[in-house]
Amino acid sequence: MTFRLLAVGDLVLDEPDADFFFDGARETLRSADLAIGHVEVPHTTRGVESVGDVPAPASDPENLKAVARAGFGVATLAGNHIHDRGAEGIADTVEGLRAVGVATTGAGLNLAQARAPAIVERAGRRVGVLSYNCVGPKEGWAGPGNAGCAYVKVITHYETEGANPGGPPKVYTFADPDTIEAMQADIAELRPQVDVLVVAFHKGLVHTPAKLAMYEKAVSRAAIDAGADIVTGSHGHILQGVEIYRGRPIFHGLGNFVVVTRALSVEGNDSPARREWAIKRKALFGFEPDPDYPLYPFHPEAKNVIIADCRIGADGGVSPGFIPCWMAPTGQPQVLGRSEQGQAVAEYVAKISAAVGLKAEFAWDGDRVVFG
């Protein structure tokens, strides 16, 4: 029997009535044998804001119940904000999700806990999920005796092009071999325990359409080389392209799903550090948030949303695809199917994939776009 696995990108639930924001996609998410999402920020009333990055505000622990009610069975946690309320925030988020039946991976009170997989059984299949942060900050990385997230360390090198000191450089990024080997060891250990293995990375360039950092393909393909069936990416808050490597799909950036927050807005922002970043962000990335989207202050192209939709056969073969969605002004992703707007989202994914040299052919299969 075919197993249906759905995956989405970032979940940030900073507003009351969190269930409301899933209403446009709830039926689709709950139709899956397993749905996976990335919980971006800590859900806690404890702890103090950390240092090392502009911290996100903690969310109400009650909002985690909406994640379960939407149909998610696994939450990945390895990201740049999960440590924003320190060990207390991580403990409360992990405990809160597990209390409502959502398995977690990617963060814990020490490195061993952070690297431990989520293993769930659904429809007669055992699915294992691992989660790694590639973007820092290092203050949020777990260690043998300190809380944080699992990580792959990425090194950045800037090289001036031509005889032009101080001019625009070429940026080289590559993963530290020791952390790649540790990640691959986790996959190798998990592989014989499960029927389906998913690796989720928090990676990429924020708010930047159709651009992959140099390390992204290498890290994603290293996971498949080690035995992963499906690789997903989050963090960029905008979609990135898809590809097939050794017969397995890589979703380089699933972008936003439910990301409702006022923390990235200039107006009415009660945090000086977050307000400063909101102003700087617009200048750095050259976009103005749509004023008709008060809870969704992101790049205009981030209104294109997808749900990864992979079908796994009895032989373990993966048929990869995605369901086109569109972000409504309310902050609710709306499932489109093969409508005119759904076709426009599918064409957008094909365009951004081709723009960064990812080879994939796309076709419709009912309301799902398949690629291979």
CATH code: domain of residue 67 = 3.60.21
Average pLDDT over residues 153-179: 92
Q: Is the pLDDT of residue 330 over 90?
A: yes
pLDDT value at position 273?
85
Q: How many CB atoms lie within 10 A of CB 137?
A: 16
Residue 130's pLDDT band (cuts 50, 70, 90): very high
How many domains does the structure of the chain reveal? 1
Query: Phi-psi region for residue 257, left (φ > 0), alpha (ψ -120 to 50) or beta?
Result: alpha
Q: What's the token pair of residue 368?
A: 């799902």
Tell me the pLDDT of the chain averaged across its residues. 96
Residue 267's pLDDT band (cuts 50, 70, 90): confident
| 166 vs 10: which has the higher pLDDT | 10
Residue 245's pLDDT band (cuts 50, 70, 90): very high
Residue 269's pLDDT band (cuts 50, 70, 90): confident
Q: Are 133 and 152 in contact (CB under 8 A)?
A: yes
Q: Is the pLDDT of residue 265 over 90?
A: no
Average pLDDT over residues 60-83: 98
- Secondary structure element (H or E) that encloses residue 189, with its range: helix 177-190
Q: Is the pLDDT of residue 266 over 90?
A: no
pLDDT tens digits along 105-129? 999 999 999 999 999 999 999 999 9
Long-range contact list for 42-45, CB < 8 A, 24+ apart?
Answer: 42/81, 42/82, 42/83, 42/84, 42/85, 42/89, 42/90, 42/92, 42/93, 43/13, 43/89, 43/92, 43/93, 43/96, 44/85, 44/88, 44/89, 44/92, 44/93, 45/92
The residue segments making up the domain with residue 39 are: 3-371
pLDDT value at position 101?
98
0.85 exceeded by the pTM? yes
